[in-house]
Each structure stands twice: as structure tokens, then as C-alpha cells.
Chains A and B, each alone.
Chain A
């Protein structure tokens, strides 16, 4: 009696779960190439932040200057910005195509050459930063300022101020 009732209850429950879950699973699609490129770009930016944050702190005097740590962060930045990001900027992954998920403006794809040359400047600034990072707080601060300016050159024209 109770076993039958339980069985009945469980079957109804199973059907209910299936009714809800199957369409939900069907709706959860595999991320598209564009979605993947956007999250990879953002992860790339986070890696830059991971190393640039402490260097900015040291440059501003908010963190004690540590030549060894500064050199390690600067080496990472040089390596990161040596990476060719061309493949991450898949057409159709601008903020117009995917609002609320990226700040990359469509103008990037209209002016790819300019965009690439700004990114090249950033790489150059990071090479200079890696050379200066271990040479004392003053040298670091100057190089961090130049690197920040190189970051800003793209943020200014190729990134929305707002999500």
C-alpha cells in the first residue's frame, strides 16, 4: 500500500522533473565562437590586470617597491602583450552584436590596422617596462605611466565608456 503510493508519487515527480528539465537542457546551448572569443578576451584583460595592478600600486607609492616582484610582473606583461590577439577579435563579437557582455566597439573591425598598430605600441611599452622595472621606483613609475598611456590609447577609441 505505502510502497505503491510511494511508487506512484515518485513516478509523478520524475515526470514533472523531466517536463521541466528537458526543455531547459535544450535551451542551454553550447557557447558560440563569438561568445567564447568575448570571454577569452576578458580573461586576457584580467591576466594583464593581475600583473599591472601591483605595478601601478608601486608606481603610485601605494605599495612598497620590490625590484624582484616588479620584474616578475613586468616579464609577464611583456609575454602577455607579445601574444597575437588578432584571433580573439572574431567578427560579430562587438558590443553592438553582444550588448552587455563586451565593451569592444564595432570600430575595431572597421579600423583593424589602426587597432593592430596601437596593440603593437602597447607591446613596445611593455618591453620598455620590463627593462625599467628592476631599475628602481622612479624608473618603474615612468615606464608604468607610459604603459598606462598605451593602454588608454585603445580604451579611448575602441572601448565604450559604458557597458
Chain B
């Protein structure tokens, strides 16, 4: 990856409307749902609604990952260990990656975020605080299973917080260290990429 300074670039339309809508809706819902879950009213009706919406978005994103086209399909952004390591070694270079889509590490982050959100929504459906909030599927699980899934729901919320913080931190690192504005690309859809 020594060619970064030299490679010629072009502006291309990378993130289509569904991708951008998905991203910002998901961001808003995860932040709202997380804050409501942790600090919101004790009756968690709106937290539940956020969870249902996030579940729908995650399912749609998985379908697009399985049956969609690059740069959205999972196959297009899951790289081998060699490419991933190469990318990781070059990450501290003070130059934009100009990657046409999710780079190898970014792709891993997409998978990780989808996975923790899928876990969060599915455990939430069975969660029960034994006081007055009960996931819609809680009645189908035994008391033991329910309390285990509720405990996982709580622990996993901390993992989500950590991964979201990492995601935002890395985007800021790209902005200030690598001088590559990924936020603007996710708003306009246009990204400076290698030819």
C-alpha cells in the first residue's frame, strides 16, 4: 500500500439512497433505543418500538448483504486475512484510503455491528424485568432461559456502546488523521475513490 500518495482518484457515487437511509435511521434508532433503555422511563414502550424498528433494519441489511450487489453484498467487503492485514498495516499512513466501499477493516466492523444488534434485538424479544416490562416472546421461554437472555441483553448493551464508540472514533480518525471525510460520503453518497 505504498502507492497511496500517487494513485489517481475520482469522485464516484458509492452509497445509494437505501444505504444512506439505512445508516442514519439505524444510527438514530440505536442511540434513541440505547438511551431510553438505560435512562428512559421505567415503562419501556418506546424502547420496544426502537427495538422492533432496528430488528427490521437489520433483517433488511442482512438480505441486501446476501442477495445485493457490491459494495453492499457481504461477499464484496469480506476480505481474506492477507488483504485485511495489509490494510491494517497501512491504516496509520496520513493519507486517505480512497477505498471504493467498505475497506477490509470497515467490513469487519459492519459484520460486528450487525451481529451485536441482531443479538440485542433477539434477546430483547424474550427479555423480562420481572416487574413490568416483558418482551413479546418472553411468554414462550422458560423462567431460566428468560433470565439468561435478559442478562445477555444487559451485557450486550455495553458491547454495543463500545462498538459504536469505536466506529465513531475511527471515523474521526479518518477525518483528522487520514484527512478522509467518510461522514460527508455517507451524507451525499459521493466518495473520492481510487481509479
Residue ranges of A at the interface with B (Cβ–Cβ < 8 Å): 52, 56, 59-60, 141, 144-146, 148-149, 151-152, 155, 161-163
Contact = CB atoms under 8 A, between A and B. Distances in A.
B147 A144 contact: no
B41 A162 contact: no
B147 A148 contact: no
B42 interface: yes
A161 B143 CA distance: 11
B42 A60 contact: no
A145 B147 contact: no
Interface in B138-187: 143-144, 147-148, 150-151, 154
B42 A155 contact: no
A146 B131 CA distance: 11
B129 A152 contact: yes
Contacts, number: 39
Contact of B151 (A52, A151, A161): A161
A148 B144 contact: no
A145 to B, nearest CB: 4
B147 A152 contact: no
B130 A144 contact: no
A141 B44 CA distance: 12
Most chain A C-beta atoms within 10 Å of own C-beta, residue among B41, B43, B150, B154 = B43
Contacts of B131: 52, 56, 148, 151-152, 155
B132 interface: yes
B147 A162 contact: yes
Contact of A145 (B43, B130, B150): B43
A151 B43 CA distance: 13
A148 B132 CA distance: 7
B45 A161 contact: no
A163 B144 contact: yes
Interface in B41-95: 41-43, 45
A151 B151 CA distance: 17
Given A56-B131, A149-B42, A155-B129, 18 more contacts: A52-B131, A59-B132, A60-B132, A145-B43, A146-B42, A148-B42, A148-B131, A148-B132, A152-B129, A152-B131, A155-B130, A155-B131, A161-B147, A161-B151, A161-B154, A162-B144, A162-B147, A162-B151
